[in-house]
Amino acid sequence: MRQPLLALLAKEPAHGYELKQALETIFGSAYPSPNIGQIYVTLGRLEKDGYVRSVDVEQANRPNKKVYYITAAGLEALQTWVEEPTEGPRVRDEFFMKLVLAPMTGLSDRMALVNRQRRHYLALMRDLRELAERTDPANRVALLLIEGAMLHLQADLDWLERCQEELP
């Protein structure tokens, strides 16, 4: 959460609620909606590290609100984040552990595991598809995110198929 907030602040100074709204509009419903408390906690940590600083702005009839600015150190940290390559997802699949280990215990057989998992993946796929149908077609970012998720799911299903074919 740190870097996205820094990136948004590098665009323009903002207060906590504005940051939450910006995240929601950009990524759409596909992205987990952030908790406002979580945002303030993160901002506090960033301020402690010297990446942002805050200024209190007075408001009529309301408590003061804090507007955050990015610092030079913050910009530098953001630069480093942008420039370093991003790791791909690692296969550390929990299901794979189940698939390999569970039959040894005699608690379940692989066929049942695979079938249950496949149905679950398909259910997820249906959710994603319905989500994509609900999403505003103009929101390319959100749709791409959903498509990425779908492709990952398809890969998981293909892998599932391989597991079923290869494991006795």
Residues that bind another protein (CB under 8 A): 29-33, 89, 111, 114-115, 118-131, 145-147, 149-150, 152-154, 157, 161, 164-165
Closest approach of Cβ 56 to another protein, in Å?
Answer: 32
Q: Can you tell me the distance from the alpha carbon of 77 to that of 2, in angstroms, rounded to the nearest whole number?
A: 10
Residue 167's SS3 state is coil
Closest approach of Cβ 82 to another protein, in Å?
Answer: 19
Q: Which is nearer to another protein, 22 or 125 (CB)?
A: 125
Closest approach of Cβ 123 to another protein, in Å?
Answer: 5
Residues 6+ apart with CB under 8 A from 59: 65
Q: Which is nearer to another protein, 31 or 40 (CB)?
A: 31
Work out the angle at residue 104's Cα, subtended by the Cα atoms of residues 100 and 106, and round it to the nearest 5 degrees.
120
CA 91, 97, 103, 104 dihedral sign is positive
Q: Which is nearer to another protein, 23 or 70 (CB)?
A: 23
